[in-house]
C-alpha cells in the first residue's frame, strides 16, 4: 500500500497473531544495568508558555531497597536533586545550572539515567 512500509505491515501481522492467539509475545527482555547510581530524571514545565522551570534528579545508590520491600527505610528512597528556576531566571540559565550539576555527577562513578516519559526526552 502506498505510504505504508514493510516494517509497519510486519508489525500489524505480529499484532494480529498475538490477538488471535490470546497470549502475549515477549520481543526482548531487559536487564538492569550494573551501575553504582540510578538517576530518575523528571522535568516540570509551564505548558502555556513552554517554559521548563524544574529539572529534577532522584539519585539512588546500588543496593538500596525497593519501595514496599521488607526493611525499606526513608534513606532507601534516594536523594532528590532539584534545579528550579527562580522568578527572574531564564530557561537557559536554569538549563546551564542543571548541566553543571550533571558534570559533578561524573565524579560519583558509573550511573544510568531513567526518564519518566517521552516528554522528558523531547522537551529537555
pLDDT in tens, 3-53: 889 999 999 999 999 999 999 999 899 888 888 888 888 888 876 767 788
- Residue 29 is predicted with a pLDDT of 92
Grid cell listed for 42: 523528571
- Cα-flanking dihedrals φ and ψ of residue 43, to 5°? -125, 155
Question: Considering the entire predicted model, what is its pTM?
Answer: 0.63
Amino acid at each position: 500500500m502506498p505510504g505504508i512500509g514493510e516494517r509497519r505491515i510486519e508489525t500489524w501481522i505480529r499484532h494480529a497473531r498475538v490477538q488471535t492467539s490470546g497470549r502475549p509475545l515477549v520481543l526482548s527482555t531487559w536487564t538492569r544495568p550494573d551501575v553504582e547510581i540510578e538517576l530518575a530524571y523528571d522535568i516540570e514545565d509551564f505548558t502555556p508558555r513552554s517554559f521548563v522551570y524544574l529539572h529534577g534528579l532522584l539519585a539512588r545508590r546500588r543496593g538500596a531497597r525497593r519501595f514496599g520491600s521488607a526493611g525499606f527505610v526513608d534513606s532507601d528512597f534516594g536523594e532528590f536533586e532539584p534545579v528550579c528556576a527562580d522568578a527572574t531566571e531564564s530557561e537557559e540559565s536554569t538549563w546551564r545550572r542543571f548541566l553543571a550539576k550533571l558534570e559533578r555527577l561524573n565524579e560519583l562513578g558509573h550511573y544510568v539515567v531513567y526518564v519518566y516519559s517521552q516528554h522528558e526526552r523531547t522537551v529537555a
